[in-house]
Structure 1
Amino acid sequence: MRLAVLYSGGKDSTLALIRALRYHNVVCLITILSENKFSYFFHTSNIELTKYQAEAIGIDIFNFYTSGEKDVEIKDLENAIKECKKEFGIEGIVSGVIRSKYQLSRIKEICRKLDLFCLTPLWLISSREEIEEIEKNKIEAIITQVSSYPMDEKYLGRKIDRNVFEELEKMKIDFAGEGGEYETFVLDANIFKKRIEIVEFEKFFDEKENFGSFIIKKVKLIKK
């Protein structure tokens, strides 16, 4: 089946892509760039860098923009998928949604309208299974945003690994991070032909709001 993957650059959408590639022909990635950094629906941290991930993987990517207003952004997503269907003749959409019924229902509705299959290869995956899949597929992802106490500045830039997994469990923070607790950016994986190296970055952390970002300013691609 010819598919497009909704791609944010984080661990979940990367793992969904890997699972989809096992059985299907993934012809492109779709990234939505939101002007609203606090978008309810879309991942926004370092989202403009997904073009480097697509290049590292060796796959086409379509970037679409949205104002990020709650109702408008869903329509913008629908238009993006519609355009991708016309351009690539896709038969279905892949999403990395894990437990968010809000996201799932809206993606399913868009697919219904556009007569597309909706594939959610990570739906209801356990946190333990996800970390095992991350390790198995050599996904190197770093934390690029935190907004859930007691996660703090020291987590910014940290690699997602078994230690982080166990720490989040102790803090009772969902490893999926779908509620905006934290966000990630993937630098490498077994499907990457090149790895991404961070050349320049800056950190920001607001103690009052318990909100921080790891802003990637410059990267380069390294052949593996």
Structure 2
Amino acid sequence: MPVRAFCSLLSGGKDSTYALHKALDEGLAPACIGIVVPGRPDSWMFHRPFVEFVPLQLNAMGLSGLSYEIRVSGEKEKEVEELKESLARAKEVRAFDTLVIGGIASRYQLTRFRMIAEELGLRIYDPQWGMDPEAYMYELLRYGIIYIITQITTAGLPYRLLGVPINSEGLVREIIELAQKHGFHPAFEGGEAETFVIKAPRYSGGICLEAKRVRVSEFEYRLEPISATLCDRPRVTIDGVMYEA
């Protein structure tokens, strides 16, 4: 049986990174890594924060040659059609039959990805779909994916977690307990927070970041990046304070 070739949509966050790794673990062949860049920060489909640093992640995995930038408007529904058109063009030159996505529970996103896949004759590979979100957060840690929270848009997630590497059971437990108390999705599937991966099993080394915390409103905070580089030992410097990954 021929090896399935895939195009993976990689935002830089924990979920798309996990999905890409699992596809590679399954022996699927990477033909395309789609970096979707939405024109608006409030896209319904796509992650925006720190997407400019996804090429560093691909470099760390030795996959830079597969990068395929996809620019969309970020406007509801219009961006879905724009993604489909871009994937159709990519399929002509990259020859893949599978689309790798990293959804957990969003019916809105899954329905639209399935529609695109059906129209383009693609299979969907979504390894974490339907997983218990609390178990999934521990699975990320067990698997070796270390990430930072780059944006918070919900009550209950404290400002102090912004930019801190999520690299221990204690931090994962704290996020889950806060989710239970305040009612947000423990894996942030509702857009309550965005993430960026600085260390993963297939990275050679990791990513070192410097950023500052910015308060946008009462319950909304974001990281404003200053610099990002590949490094042997990943770490994050936030407002002058260094955190080892």
Q: Which moved more, 1:34-43 or 1:64-73?
A: 64-73
Question: How high is the TM-score relative to the length of structure 2?
Answer: 0.85
1:108 maps to which residue?
A: 114
Over 3 Å counting, the alpha-carbon distance change for 1:62 and 1:103 in structure 2 is same
Distance, in Å, in 2 between the alignment partners of 1:168 and 1:186 is: 21
What are structure 2's unaligned runs of at least 5 residues? Answer: 234-245
Over 3 Å counting, the alpha-carbon distance change for 1:155 and 1:223 in structure 2 is closer
Whichever residue aligns with residue 146 of structure 1, its letter is I
What are structure 1's unaligned runs of at least 5 residues? Answer: none
Residues 85-138 of structure 1 deviation map (CA, whole Å, 9 limit, x = unaligned):
112100110110111111001000101111011111111111232123212221
Matched pairs, number: 222
User: Which of the residues 169, 172, 176 maps onto 2:187?
Assistant: 176
8 A contact 1:145–1:211 mirrored in 2: yes
Q: Which runs of structure 1 show a deviation greater than 4 angstroms over 4 or more consecutive aligned residues?
A: none
1:79 Cα deviation from its structure 2 partner: 1.7
1:13 maps to which residue?
A: 16
Question: How high is the TM-score relative to the length of structure 1?
Answer: 0.93
Distance, in Å, in 2 between the alignment partners of 1:124 and 1:43 is: 20
1:216 Cα deviation from its structure 2 partner: 2.1
Alpha-carbon RMSD across the aligned residues, in angstroms, is: 1.6
User: Which of the residues 176, 179, 203 maps onto 1:165?
Assistant: 176
Distance, in Å, in 2 between the alignment partners of 1:164 and 1:175 is: 7
8 A contact 1:57–1:194 mirrored in 2: no
2:74 maps to which residue?
A: 68
1:80 Cα deviation from its structure 2 partner: 2.0
8 A contact 1:34–1:66 mirrored in 2: yes
1:185 Cα deviation from its structure 2 partner: 0.3
Whichever residue aligns with residue 155 of structure 1, its letter is L
2:238 maps to which residue?
A: none
8 A contact 2:156–2:179 mirrored in 1: no
User: Which of the residues 178, 193, 205 maps onto 2:204?
Assistant: 193
